[in-house]
Amino acid sequence: MAAGRHPLVPRGAVPGCQHRAGRAGVHRHHSGPSATHGASRARCIAQVFEPVRAAVKAGQCSRAILVGHNPSFDLGFVNAAVARTSIKRNPFHPFSTFDTATLAGLAYGQTVLSRAARAAGLEWDERDAHSAIYDAEMTAHLFCRIVNLWGAPRPAG
């Protein structure tokens, strides 16, 4: 890991600038692996993994850590898809995640995504809520708010 880089936020700005949502993994243009896109599952998953791998490499990290609201559920789907398609280089750590439900409970006393977002000072739109992209973007914004509460990582020891 390069000096001054956070090992779990590969495409970030640590230390010295604020984390922002919109990192690899939150894509407006990608609706997920589907036969209607005319590509195989493996090809679709590889497309999703490509920017994640690039971010991991740019951050001089060994794995990406999935961030989500109750992410063990999502990571289970990712790992199952990797197993089904025999993809050899899954960029995500096989079991480690950052759970914004837990982190928001600690930071704001709220574990429900909408309540945690509001407690963090984010605007919440009930009309858009529960769509995959909206919830993913709000989770990313919430994660960044929580991380920014603590500032730059501290050296071990």
Catalytic residues: 130
Residue 124: phi and psi, rounded to 5, are -125, 125
Q: Would you call 103 helix, strand, or coil by DSSP?
A: helix
Which two tokens mark 138? Answer: 């709000």
**Residue 128: what residue type?**
D
Residue 110's Cβ-count burial label (10 Å; 0-12, 13-18, 19+) is middle
Q: Which of 20, 133, 25 is nearest to 78 (CA)?
A: 25
Distance CA 42, CA 48 (A): 10
What is the chain's Cα-based Rg? 16
Tell me which residue has tokens 């559920």: 73
